[in-house]
């Protein structure tokens, strides 16, 4: 497979970075993941504007302008076109410098890396059956709205899910639902879709926004507001959303069935709306 590193395309085996890269030493960098269907990036503008927000938030200079990012991503997709659907990963670190927490003086060039991986969206069986999840305390920091590469808490939380043989860990902070270790979470209560508000405790998901737009457009009752642990535990439906998972129903939480233990009607409707929407925007050229 072909990757991009600091201006050049090369086989992944040839892409190497210096050990003093601040991404390696401090986890000092940000990233982005963009789903690509039939060679077309989905919601590219939104993903790149979130990338810019992440860069600004951690004060790393944006190494490319919009058309520079777009051209690089287009070429990366072309180079890896053997995969029908792809997941494009972008990473920018503060660069290479002697080890010191403070920003390097003088400024150094950010390290820019990009790769593509095959995108496998959940199978029809998984969509129909739903998945299980557990809950855990949200042990992360207070800037979860930044898509930072320092993901140790997420790694530990996701491993807890794997250790329990379930798909995801849903996080609770001070008794409120934040998100999953690598997904946003919605619940349905008596037909109304409830979504935690975008704040510093969760990543503003691109898929989350698509779901909100679809709910509004199709007049599905929607309320954006804090979701308590009690609301989560008594929800009629729980959903996970992300660029690679799209939408999945959680049918068991901490070993207890969510409602009747099957994906609910609002989920099934939203799943169909999401697929229709995706197919409309991604219509082969
Ligand atoms: N929350 C976290 C912690 C994530 O890592 C992700 C990424 O997959 C999401 C939410 C979902 O974001 P998006 O829909 O942009 O993929």
Domains in the chain: boundaries: 2-118, 124-281
Report the distance separating Cα 2 and Cα 204, nearest Å: 29
Whose CA is closest to atom 5 on ligand 1?
182
Probe target for ligand 1 pocket from 36, 171, 182, with the most ligand atoms within 8 Å of CB: 182
182 lines ligand 1 (CB under 6 A): yes
Catalytic residues: 147
Residue 206 Cβ contacting ligand 1 at under 6 Å = yes
Predicted local confidence at residue 47, as pLDDT: 98
Q: Which residues contact 136 (CB under 8 A, 6 or more apart)?
A: 157, 160, 169, 170, 171, 172
Domains 2-118 and 124-281 share a fold: no
Q: How confident is the model at residue 105 (pLDDT cuts 50, 70, 90)?
A: very high
**Is the predicted pLDDT of residue 285 greater than 70, yes or no?**
no
pLDDT band at residue 284, thresholds of 50, 70 and 90?
low
**Angle formed at CA 182 by CA 191 and CA 250, multiple of 5 degrees:** 35
Tell me the pLDDT band of 281, cut-offs 50, 70 and 90: confident
Q: CA-CA distances (angstroms) from residue 216 to 196, 220, 222, 270?
A: 16, 6, 7, 11
Q: Is the CB of 205 under 6 A from ligand 1?
A: yes
Residue 184 alpha carbon, nearest atom of ligand 1: 10
Q: Whose CA is nearest to atom 2 of ligand 1?
A: 182
> Is the reported ipTM for this assembly greater than 0.95?
yes
Q: Among the CATH numbers 3.30.565.10, 3.40.50.300, 3.90.226.10, 3.30.470.10, which is that of 2-118?
A: 3.30.470.10
Q: Is 207 in the pocket of ligand 1 (CB under 6 A)?
A: yes
Encode pLDDT of 180-203 as tens digits: 999 999 999 999 999 999 999 999
Write down the pLDDT at residue 273. Answer: 98
pTM, whole model, 2 decimals?
Answer: 0.97
Q: Is 169 in the pocket of ligand 1 (CB under 6 A)?
A: no
Confidence at residue 282, expressed as pLDDT on a 0 to 100 scale: 81
Look at residue 228 in the predicted model and tell me its pLDDT: 98
Report pLDDT digits (tens) over 205-218.
999 999 999 999 99
CA–CA distance, 51 with 62 (Å, rounded to integer): 9
As assigned by CATH, the class of the 124-281 domain is alpha beta
The pLDDT tens digits of the residues spanning 67-87 come to: 999 999 999 999 999 998 999
Q: Is the peptide bond before 106 cis (omega within 30 degrees of 0)?
A: yes
**pLDDT on residue 19:** 98
């Amino acid at each position: 497979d072909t990757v991009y590193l600091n201006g050049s395309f090369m086989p992944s085996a040839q892409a190497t970075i210096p050990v003093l890269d601040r991404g390696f030493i401090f986890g000092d960098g940000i990233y982005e993941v963009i789903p690509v269907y039939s060679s077309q990036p989905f919601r590219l503008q939104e993903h790149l504007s979130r990338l810019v927000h992440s860069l600004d938030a951690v004060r790393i200079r944006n190494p490319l302008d919009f058309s520079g990012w777009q051209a690089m991503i287009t070429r990366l997709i072309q180079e890896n076109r053997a995969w029908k659907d792809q997941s494009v990963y972008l990473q920018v670190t503060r660069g290479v410098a002697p080890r010191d927490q403070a920003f390097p003086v003088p400024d150094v060039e950010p390290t820019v890396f990009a790769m593509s991986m095959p995108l496998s969206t959940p199978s029809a069986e998984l969509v129909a059956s739903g998945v299980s999840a557990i809950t855990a305390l949200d042990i992360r920091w207070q800037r979860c709205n930044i898509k930072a590469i320092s993901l140790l808490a997420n790694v530990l939380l996701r491993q807890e899910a794997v250790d329990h043989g379930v798909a995801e860990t849903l996080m609770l902070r001070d008794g409120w639902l934040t998100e999953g270790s690598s997904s946003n979470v919605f619940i349905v209560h008596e037909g109304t879709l409830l979504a935690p508000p975008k704040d510093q405790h969760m990543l503003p998901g691109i898929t989350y926004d698509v779901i909100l737009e679809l709910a509004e457009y199709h007049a599905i009752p929607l309320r954006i507001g804090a979701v308590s642990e009690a609301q989560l535990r008594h929800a009629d439906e729980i959903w996970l959303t992300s660029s690679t998972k799209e939408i999945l129903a959680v049918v068991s939480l901490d070993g207890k069935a969510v409602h009747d233990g099957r994906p609910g009607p609002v989920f099934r409707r939203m799943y169909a709306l999401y697929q229709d929407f995706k197919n409309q925007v991604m219509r082969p050229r």
